[in-house]
Amino acid sequence: MMDWKELEETCQHCTRCGLCETRRHVVFGVGPKNADVMFIGEGPGQQEDLQGEPFVGPAGQLLDEMLSIIDLSRENCYIGNIVKCRPPRNRDPLQVEQDACIDYLRNQVALIQPKIIVCLGRIAAMRLITPDFRITREHGQWTEKNGIWMSALYHPSALLRDPSKRPDTFRDLLALRAKVAAVAAKV
Ligand code: URA
């Protein structure tokens, strides 16, 4: 396991998969290094690639609003992605790209030791919760894995494309707030 400094430097120079050839910035992740709650998306989009920060484009604006509904914010949550470099044209990250990158995220989780991990969308849920995760049926459900409470929400991009998913997400957010109150005293 690497410490924060070594981990971030290694990620900044990473050439483990082809995404390094087209990236502008490695999007390492942001937030307090002792956060109780982590949000994990699938990979940087265009704005994230340009700015080097996760969830700063349109989906990120919606994520900020979702957090504020339940009194969370970037000040008290860590936000990251399954892959740290933008897949061209925002395609889903390939399995080989996820495999190349996932140990960096595992290292971040080991350093942060969050109480709760919230997957944003199907890709992150399939990678972190279970490979056959079905987001339409299983969003908002909670499972404990290695002492960490895990759940998935619809990806904010999916909510932008399909507002009919928003009421479900509102309920999932209220359940997340209850889970935070139950297990995460710090926020
Ligand atoms: N979508 C993601 O999954 N992650 C980001 O950082 C931005 C958009």
Question: Could you tell me the two tokens for 148?
Answer: 């960490």
pLDDT at res. 187: 56
pLDDT at 186 over 70: no
CB of 59 within 6 A of ligand 1: the answer is yes
pLDDT band for position 25 (cuts 50, 70, 90): very high
Average pLDDT over residues 43-65: 98
With a 6 Å cutoff on the Cβ, whether 140 touches ligand 1 is no
Share above pLDDT 70 across residues of the chain, in percent, rounded to a whole number: 98
Ligand 1 binding pocket mutation candidate from 120, 122, 127, 153 (most atoms within 8 A of CB): 120
Among protein residues, the one whose CA lies closest to atom 7 of ligand 1: 55
Residue listed under structure tokens 């400094």: 5
Task: Assess whether the C-beta atom of 54 lies below 6 angstroms from ligand 1.
Answer: yes
- Of 134, 169, 144, nearest to 154 by C-alpha is 169
Q: How far apart are CA 156 and CA 145, in angstroms?
A: 24
Ligand 1 pocket test: pick from 81, 128, 157 the residue with the most ligand atoms within 8 Å of its Cβ: 81
Take residue 173 and report the two structure tokens written for it: 């957010």
Q: Tell me how far the alpha carbon of residue 6 lies from the centroid of ligand 1, in angstroms.
A: 24
What are the distances in angstroms from CA 45 to CA 16, 30, 156, 181?
19, 15, 12, 32
Residue 39 DSSP symbol: E
- Inform me whether the pLDDT recorded for 95 exceeds 70: yes
Query: What was the pLDDT predicted at 61?
Result: 98
Q: How confident is the model at residue 60 (pLDDT cuts 50, 70, 90)?
A: very high
Ligand 1 atom closest to Cα of residue 123: 3
In angstroms, the CA 86 to CA 64 distance is: 21
pTM: 0.97
Report whether residue 41 contacts ligand 1, using a CB cutoff of 6 Å: yes
